[in-house]
Amino acid sequence: MEYIVISFTHKNTDIATREKLAFNNEVEKESFLKNIIKNSSVNEAILLSTCNRIELIINTPNSKEASKVGIENFAKHSTLQIEELYNRADIYENESAIHHIFTVASSLDSLVVGETQIAGQLKDAFKFSIEKDFSGQNLSRVLHYAFKCAAKVRNATQLGSGSVSVASTAVAQAKQLYKDTTGVRALVIGAGEMSELACRHLLKYGFDVVICSRNIKKARILAHSIISDGNGDEYTHDQIEIRPYEELETLLNSMRLMITATSAPYPIIKKEMVKEFKHTRNWFDIALPRDIEDIEFEDLNIYSVDDLQCIVDENMELRASQAKEAYSIVGKMTVDFFSWLQTLSVEPVIKDLHLKGEEIIDKKIQNALKKHFIKSEDEENVKKLCQTIMAEFLHQPTTKLRDVSKSIDGDIVLGTTQNLFGLNTEI
């Protein structure tokens, strides 16, 4: 059984390409995975789609064929050419695939190293796949081990310290642009997780926040939760204002700072909505697909996810030593995962060996009783003696099997053992 990952990220694709590859809702994800699973070369599949990455994780009996199926379905979904996708994609197989999944879960492959959202996004993708029967035991083992690896990295390093995310990075960039945040109002469009993170960081840096969302009830709940818990800070209703979505155009043309993070499948901010304004405006679009269409307007700066690289580079420098330790953990956990998988394979073989021994003992004792070689009152004692002999006889072979199962020849040895003893267990 093999594993592959087909990966499109900020490292190998620009934001325009990722927009075409992105999945806007669960209906699109379900349809895509259904088509993938139909193919005999795909046993299980998980689809991860975020602002920085679109990745397909597959358990397969044939990695080459599964890669072909994955790329072809990405081409149908995105309308991009198959050849272009092959040229852009990073395709990981087996050990490399597992190492990559563990790296992603541990936030080492993120645009912002140590960002706090990716593990949750991966868990959501895994949960969706399980609920829709696109994933089973094999990928469950991988993902559970990946989350175990992520927890180990988090506990052993400081990479997850503080609240690090694309949203926090955007706000950090805004803070550099507005040295004095007193009286600066920031418009946040949307009321989801990314918007909440943006609001919290804006308030922390001293900005006042105006939340605008199609779902005004959700926006009010978001504002209330920030005011009520505060996370150690005191915020008031004067610092967080809710405005109806119908006022979006007015708000865009009356505020100096804006962060948008909606799940809209198309741009919600268009060129004709932009009017003259007396100050320079800075807009941060951290959605995928982007919320803002391509606009060139005097004194208007638009930043997408990929434009945050300057802070990302600083983040990498500050976290370089921590990342080195984290990669060491990921490497060890990758090796441990395959060792653990091999032990899962060997235990059924060992169990069958002992069952085979029990069958022989029972058969021979019954024959001995029929031929009066032993008395019926001695049956239990004779059986215990035979079981002791069999257990001692199998002790060294089973110990050796457990040891050899961890080596590169493990599958061959286990297969030979099955054939040799006539066992039926599938590895």
SS3 content of the chain, % helix, strand, coil (to 5): 60, 15, 30
Tell me whether residue 188 is exposed, middle or buried, using C-beta atoms within 10 angstroms of its C-beta: 0 to 12, 13 to 18, 19 or more.
buried
Annotation says 51 is catalytic: yes
Local structure of residue 271 (DSSP, 8 states): G
CA distance 312 to 392: 61
Cis peptide before 267 (omega within 30 of 0): no
The residue among 222, 228, 110 whose CA lies nearest residue 168 is 110
State the Cα torsion 23-28-31-32 to the nearest 10°: -10
Contact, 11 vs 20, CB < 8 A?
Answer: no
DSSP H or E segment with residue 311: helix 309-370
CA distance 222 to 218: 6
CA distance 208 to 256: 11
The residue among 156, 179, 176, 162 whose CA lies nearest residue 326 is 156
CA distance 262 to 271: 18
**In DSSP terms, which residues pair with 59 in a beta bridge?**
3, 44
CA distance 200 to 301: 23
Selecting among 51, 149, 199, 212, the annotated active-site residue is 51
- By DSSP bridging, strand 300-304 and strand 44-49 are unpaired
Residues belonging to the active site:
51
